[in-house]
Structure 1
Amino acid sequence: MPTEHPNTGKPTWLFRCKYCDSIRRFRRTDGCSKFSNERQHISATNLVAHLNKCTRLPVEQKLKAVKACLNHPSEPETLTPAQASVASVFRSSPRALVQQPVAISNSLFHSTLIQGVVRDNYPLTFGEGRGMQQVFALTSPHFKLPSHQTMRTNLDKLYDILKGRVLHLLKSQDSRVVVTSDAWTSKTFAYSLGGVVITFIDKHWNYQEFVLDVVHLDADHTGVGMGQRLFKSLDCMGAAANVIASVTDNASNNQTMNAELSKRIREKYEISLRVDNMSVTCLCHALHLICGAIFTQLKAMDSLESDDMYAAVKSFEEGEVIENSAEVLEEEGRLRSEDCPPGHSGPPDNFDDDLSDLEVYEQPGDSISPQPSQRTPGSEPNNTLNCVQKVHEIAVHITSSAKRRKRMRNIIRALKLEPRAVIKSVRVRWNSILAEIRRALLLKPAFNQYVATLDEGKTGKQQTAARALKKKLTIKDEEWDIMDELVKILEYFESATRAFSVRGRTSLHSVLSTYALLRSKLFEARNRLSALFESEDPFGIIEALAAGERKLEKYFEMAKDNDLTLIASILHPGMRLAHFRDTKRWGSSGPLLTERGQKLLEFLYEDYRLDSQETMSPAGQSTELPGTLPAQKSWLDSLLDSPSEAINFALYPEELRDYFDGRYRYNGGDVLIWWKEHETHFPVLSRIARDFLAIPATSVSVERLFSRCKLVMSDYRNMSVETARKIITSQQWMDAGIGFDLPDFISNNNN
């Protein structure tokens, strides 16, 4: 408050401590009554000194506490349960929140800056740009932005402290880990990397999934080479001895890779992991091949059997919603923003489309051949297109120029249809073809009118060519009906792909039920259409579904033969053994699965029970499976309709008997929450569940990692593989919660 000094009468500012009666005075400019208008420099030393002396000052407001708080970055983000579980391992003692920091050390600034640059994928030259220097000169003139050499050194320090935390985290777990791996090569072939992701269920029953390493393959994609590098990464992080399973796609070299990994684990740790019992094939890859078989039969896709073809698919994210892509949303934005002129009917727009982008010539049968770059797979001159090919050719025609897109927008508005953009598929992605057909069905009147008016306003050769194209692309009502049937069938596969692509949830237990459901849907659809068309297949749809069935049966049999998949299914409290007694769903394989699953769980129960008595930890022990033993529900919850007849389990140990009898019911929801709540009732089975339910059903996590790799290792950034590796792994570790509450690791004293 403004006042005068009691002794000299000179104008002063008086500050009174709100916790004690102490006062402090400072010189005031004569006539100044507002502190904000004071032009004289006022030193805060006198006030700061009082923070150390005031006896009534709360502990959290003392100078020592303030400095401690300032030496930690704030954490404004909301953590998921899995992230919070990891963060709790590294959380320091609770600290007070200070609304207005009075000082930030240069080392703390550097520590926080490198974290921000890495997390948000800025270049290490962030501090060398004139733009950022201008911003910081205005907002924080006392800080000098570091050079890229300093940022690279700080990256090393960030990586080292995060790696130490990963080592500590893995060492503190008593559950087994699962490794998911895959290879990736950049478009320019400058980088050839292997991604290593591990999953496990922690002590609090949170499903943990994070990147362990990004390894430099140096163009060596052989199974042996990848197996050696995979083992080295796992061993370096202390996880090799705890591996229980390896999840990969269906590439031909992965079996060799798992064999090499198993061999090295056996040689160093004397732990036996049989290749057939440790390998899990990615479900999403299998679903892609099944749907690919259907569309290949319809000549809408090329065969996806080769590793090279599937490598092209992995450049896209599994579970991506094509309808929400940026290109589609931008076109829909234009559709909504443009005004249709009054009285404008749409089609006769006189756009003078000369079809110059097509090789238009008239042949017997009025067949028009598109350019090779736009030709549907399997379509050649004089060949009649099936309905799926027609939709694609129309979509290509519409989207090939701004003029045609605008014409289609006018038609959509004139017909007062829902303002949706035409989707053009990518021939290696089955889900994009599904989206293309589904959107065509939604815009059916517009598609029909677009084709029907191709020849309007044209004369001479252009009219002849347009009429030939019109005849070629006209879609009959029966063809629209067939495509509607196809969409209904494939949407089950789409729902499954999206459900299994969700991050941070256990899903291996639902693989067998998913295959069973999808097989029944394909079988029912094929039988219904066969009865409708009798012995004919005028649209090729019946043989296409049969091709999908054959492919599905192959992967279904592989899944049924996999002990890990069967055990995970039985450990789902909504399935148990009773689930496989549904003869309608499982047929003759049901009793065999029940018997084999029962023996497998008995074997594991005894193995884990003895291990608990001896070491109280499964880590480092061999758990080889016997190879010669015989509201609207979510997708996963919808698979759990099981028969309720009781089985006599009187001869089992009490824990197994209680589980098989269903003494503690499962009412839906997160399986891990059920196990957490009933852990005390099933002390041995819960340990088995923690290990086997940690196995993912897909390798989507690695493909998600490669999406990040594309951003970091772009053509515009010149960096070494080692720098890229440290950036990517540090990003992933911080996103997993491992970077929570980091100290000032740039200063000498960072403990």
Structure 2
Amino acid sequence: MSLVWKYFKVHEGENRFAVCEECKTKVSRGGLSAKTFSTSGLINHLKSNHPSKYEEYARETKRKANTAKTPCTTPSVADIFEKSRKFTKDSVKAKGITEKVMEYMALDDQPFSVVEDVGFRRLIQHIEPRYTLPSRRYFADVCLPELYNSIASRVHELLAKGSDPPYMSFTTDIWSSDVSPTSMLSLTAQWVDEDFQLKRVVLQCQEFKGSHSSVAISGAFNSMFERWGIDSTRVHAVVSDNARNMVKAMDDSGLRGIRCVAHTLQLAVNEGVLSQRSIADIVSSGRKIVGHFKHSPLAYSRIQAIQEQFGMYPKRFQQDVSTRWNSTFYMLQSLFDQKQTLAAYIADYDLPATFTPYQWQIIENVLSLLAPFEQLTREISSAKASAADVIPSFAALTRLLKKEVETDHGVKTMKTALLEALDRRFSQTDTEPLFYIASVLDPRYKDHYFDVDKKRRMREMVRAELDSLADGEVTYREGAVETKTIRTEAESAPSLSDMFDEILQENDPDPPRQTSATAQQLDCYLSEVLIPRSDDPLTYWRTNRGRFPALARMARRYLAAPCTSTDSERLFSAASNVLNERRNRLTCDKAEKLLFVKKNLPLFLKEQAT
């Protein structure tokens, strides 16, 4: 509305006139209907009869025009024509949109055919009408290789930066698709850079045809390392599952093969669970109960109604899978949590199996016994877990199993079998220097989890490694000793965390021995107080590398070694989303490129964000 109406109002009887607020004069609005009304006559009236009000009106109008966010300009015909013209395929704007659409496909597991979907095309047309969406073939044959090559170049740059020290650790696994006759072999790499930041990339996930023999796997390893310019001398360790063909392939390739700790733990727990007939029967009955609700919508709706009556949030029972022992733990836990609702259900409906009060007690004791195993599985499968966690974790777990508690009733056979399986399957840690040295170089553990004999062996291993370093790189600086103390938890029932603290309280570090400069570094480092388990060991080394330069170089090598092949398994979880029912005809070459982009692109997007 014009500012002139501050000085006028519409005449009540005749709207084609306005009444001046100053002199009460009727002034024509310039027409006979609303379509022809204007404010020109009103402005002229102010200018002729009320000069002071006119000047006030003029100032207000000018101020409003100066503060307007967008000038009221009429676009030219050329501007209108330009805005309606379609982008050329080579224009910067069109290339940018095409690149983002390709990233969307790779990151969100969308098929190339999404560009043919009506809803997606309408969305793009609404966002930018001048953009012409290319065909699915263009995205598959042109855009994907371009994006892959761009990211591969950046990965090559990262690998080149990680050449000092020249050691890298890897994980590998073999996966077979459920929707197509395809097998793939993965290779992921991780290392600690000069700023003590852990770097992790997916190098390859290539098609693996033919027999999965050790010879074929070894040849595939050599081919992948050659493709990425990684000399075998730079390979510190390769973590894989416990399959014999994989273990032998490491030996044939001359690589240090480390068996996945999570897989080994899986085998040990399976032995323990199946060792006691009563527990095996409970697991079998649990599977029948869960299967009953899983395959019957009617049964599930009935149990859901009972859950609501008890004021519980509706929750499904969890089905276990044979390859994941912790899924059995979660299945029993979900059943135990629904103990009341199941009792109410069987009062009115049938179940293929039920539990007696004694069996419910056994389930509770089994959950108590396996809870530390579940905690350990989560910890060693985390992205920050390393080979340094193996010896301390299993020392704490073994000690916990040796303690007698009230919840042992009905599960003593299982507990004994678990302890024996752990001792047998993790005996390799006593002969693998990597675990010893990695534990010592982790400031959360050092040598506090070793007995006297293992401490002596550890010192020999570390000093041999230190002596192999160039003398010019070894210097020692006196500095303030860390004053951090070990965190302890309130007294409660024994837990895995309690065992870590108990071992530390019993195991004091050896007194320092003054020998060579490198030995002085080791002795001074070991004499200092441990940092809390929740702290990051790489942060410690970033801060203390000036005090312990030789040990810091070793830490970059050994703390980069993972203890599980979880990275490769996560990669294949993504692969099952790439090669799915909607893309079961996707070639392995394109599937590998999509996986490579999906896993590595987020790393560089984070760099751009910072």
Bucket of the pairwise TM-score, normalised by the shorter protein = 0.7 to 0.9
Question: Which of residues 262, 265, 269 in structure 2 aligns to 1:287?
Answer: 265
Q: Percent identity?
A: 21
Q: Is the CA contact (8 Å cut-off) linking 2:115 and 2:135 kept in structure 1?
A: yes
Q: Is the CA contact (8 Å cut-off) linking 1:295 and 1:430 kept in structure 2?
A: no
Residue by residue over 1:80-121, the C-alpha shift from the partner in whole angstroms, topping out at 9 and shown as x without a partner, is xxxxxxxxxxxxxxxxxxxxxxx9533333333323332222
Residue matched to 1:425? 320
Instruction: Provide the TM-score with structure 1 as the length reference.
Output: 0.62
Aligned length: 506
Matched to 1:260, the amino acid is D
TM-superposed CA distance for 1:233, in Å, is: 1.0
Larger Rg: 1 or 2? 2
Q: Does residue 1:239 correspond to 2:217, yes or no?
A: no
Matched to 2:275, the amino acid is Q
Residue matched to 1:622? none
Residue matched to 1:251? 243
Question: Which of residues 500, 505, 520 in structure 2 aligns to 1:657?
Answer: 520
Alignment of structure 1 residues 551-630 onto 2, 5 Å? 551-580=421-450, 590-610=451-471, 612=473
Residue matched to 1:171? 160
Distance in 1 (CA, whole Å) between partners of 2:528 and 2:515 is 17
Matched to 2:426, the amino acid is F
Task: Specify whether residues 513 and 249 from structure 1 end up closer, same or farther in structure 2 by C-alpha distance, changes over 3 A only.
Answer: same
Residue matched to 1:118? 106
* 3-state SS in 2 of match to 1:546: helix
Residue matched to 2:550? 684
Matched to 1:482, the amino acid is I
Matched to 1:723, the amino acid is K
* 3-state SS in 2 of match to 1:473: coil
Residue by residue over 1:249-291, the C-alpha shift from the partner in whole angstroms, topping out at 9 and shown as x without a partner, is 11111121112322xxxxxxxxxxxx5xx22111111121122
Residue by residue over 1:15-72, the C-alpha shift from the partner in whole angstroms, topping out at 9 and shown as x without a partner, is xxxxxxxxxxxxxxxxxx9967755427679xxxxxxxxxxxxxxxxxxxxxxxxxxx
Distance in 1 (CA, whole Å) between partners of 2:70 and 2:333 is 67
Task: Specify whether residues 116 and 35 from structure 1 end up closer, same or farther in structure 2 by C-alpha distance, changes over 3 A only.
Answer: same
Question: Which of residues 571, 578, 591 in structure 2 aligns to 1:705?
Answer: 571
Q: Is the CA contact (8 Å cut-off) linking 1:508 and 1:696 kept in structure 2?
A: yes
Question: Which of residues 534, 555, 561 in structure 2 aligns to 1:695?
Answer: 561
Matched to 2:373, the amino acid is F
Question: Which of residues 169, 173, 177 in structure 2 aligns to 1:186?
Answer: 177
Distance in 2 (CA, whole Å) between partners of 1:732 and 1:498 is 21
Question: Which of residues 711, 731, 734 in structure 1 aligns to 2:598?
Answer: 731
Q: Does residue 1:667 correspond to 2:531, yes or no?
A: yes
Distance in 2 (CA, whole Å) between partners of 1:611 and 1:728 is 44
Q: Does residue 1:223 correspond to 2:214, yes or no?
A: yes
Q: Is the CA contact (8 Å cut-off) linking 2:397 and 2:496 kept in structure 1?
A: no
TM-superposed CA distance for 1:292, in Å, is: 1.4
Alignment of structure 1 residues 123-522 onto 2, 5 Å? 123-151=111-139, 152-173=141-162, 174-175=164-165, 176-240=167-231, 241-262=233-254, 278-298=256-276, 386-416=281-311, 419-454=314-349, 473-476=354-357, 478-503=358-383, 505-522=384-401
* 3-state SS in 2 of match to 1:716: helix
* 3-state SS in 1 of match to 2:211: coil
Which 10-residue stretch deviates more, 717-726 or 423-432? 423-432
More helix by share: 2
Residue matched to 2:17? none
* 3-state SS in 1 of match to 2:175: strand
Q: Is the CA contact (8 Å cut-off) linking 2:168 and 2:189 kept in structure 1?
A: yes
Q: Does residue 1:108 correspond to 2:96, yes or no?
A: yes
Matched to 1:579, the amino acid is Y
Alignment of structure 1 residues 75-94 onto 2, 5 Å? none
TM-superposed CA distance for 1:229, in Å, is: 0.9
Matched to 1:406, the amino acid is S
Residue by residue over 1:408-440, the C-alpha shift from the partner in whole angstroms, topping out at 9 and shown as x without a partner, is 234334445565443343344322221222222
Task: Specify whether residues 121 and 394 from structure 1 end up closer, same or farther in structure 2 by C-alpha distance, changes over 3 A only.
Answer: closer
Q: Is the CA contact (8 Å cut-off) linking 2:521 and 2:551 kept in structure 1?
A: no
Distance in 1 (CA, whole Å) between partners of 2:600 and 2:327 is 32
Residue matched to 1:347? none
* 3-state SS in 1 of match to 2:581: coil
* 3-state SS in 2 of match to 1:194: strand
Distance in 1 (CA, whole Å) between partners of 2:436 and 2:174 is 28
Residue matched to 1:30? none
Structure 2: stretches of 5+ with no match in the other structure: 3-67, 81-90, 475-486, 490-494
Instruction: Provide the TM-score with structure 2 as the length reference.
Output: 0.75
TM-superposed CA distance for 1:150, in Å, is: 2.3
Matched to 1:652, the amino acid is T
Q: Is the CA contact (8 Å cut-off) linking 1:398 and 1:405 kept in structure 2?
A: yes
Distance in 2 (CA, whole Å) between partners of 1:517 and 1:542 is 19
TM-superposed CA distance for 1:453, in Å, is: 4.2
TM-superposed CA distance for 1:706, in Å, is: 0.1
| Greater RCO structure (CA 8 Å; 6+ sep) | 1
TM-superposed CA distance for 1:666, in Å, is: 3.6
Q: Is the CA contact (8 Å cut-off) linking 1:393 and 1:473 kept in structure 2?
A: no
Q: Is the CA contact (8 Å cut-off) linking 2:388 and 2:442 kept in structure 1?
A: yes
TM-superposed CA distance for 1:739, in Å, is: 8.5
